[in-house]
Chain A
Amino acid sequence: MIDILLTSQTLNITGCADAVMSPQSGGIDLFIGTVRDATKGKTVLRLEFEAYEPMAKSEMNKIALQAMEKWPLHKVLIHHRIGVLEVGEVPVIIAVSAAHRAAAFDACRFIIDTLKLTVPIWKKEIFEDGEVWVAAHP
């Protein structure tokens, strides 16, 4: 089972864990990305996320399928938020269930690492004295 969501609503951490539970699963790995209050020593006030929505969902689905091919997983969930997020809020949750923990840990890391490389979502950091699209310039 694959569960992909791109939303402007608050992500539900316990709901995501519940969604991947199954009687066959011996472990669930949950990655929760949160908005940090500083980057390179500069205070971050908030982040703004935007997505190329149809392609982002399609790329998220591809990553989930790749993970299911590489590891014996039961369920894979990828939820990502868009819009304005304050410090401490949750932009992304990855949840994976498997019979044993090694597959769940490895797949969860693969999914978040690949998401950061391929899914067309962008974040802008808002500072006290300006704003910048992350990774846009060398």
Chain B
Amino acid sequence: MIIKILAFGIAKEIFGGSSIDFALENEVTTVDLKAALEERYPSLAELSSYLLAVNNEYAAPDLTIGAKDEVAIIPPVSGG
């Protein structure tokens, strides 16, 4: 299963682009996906914090994420 993950702000620099295609064997929860991402991109763990958004909503830790979902990395926001 390939999940497309959108990146913004500092996450774009960590990914080296505005999105990545991330390969997974099965559906995952938010927590599992964060762990898998941090394994491949250790710099994510150095951020103050970051959340995942799924289909334009902040994702709860136990949410199951599948290939059809729009996933985005939300590093610490700083609007205003």
Contact = CB atoms under 8 A, between A and B. Distances in A.
Contacts of A123: 78-79
Interface of B: 6, 8-10, 13, 46-48, 53, 56-58, 72, 74-80
Interface in A43-87: 49-52, 54-56, 58, 80
Given A115-B80, A123-B79, A133-B75, A52 B6 contact: yes
Given A54-B56, A55-B56, A120-B53, A133 B78 contact: yes
A135 B48 contact: yes
29 contacts: A33-B80, A49-B79, A51-B8, A51-B79, A52-B6, A54-B56, A55-B53, A55-B56, A55-B72, A58-B56, A80-B80, A91-B80, A115-B79, A115-B80, A117-B77, A118-B58, A119-B79, A120-B72, A120-B77, A122-B8, A123-B79, A124-B9, A133-B10, A133-B75, A134-B78, A136-B75, A136-B76, A136-B78, A137-B46
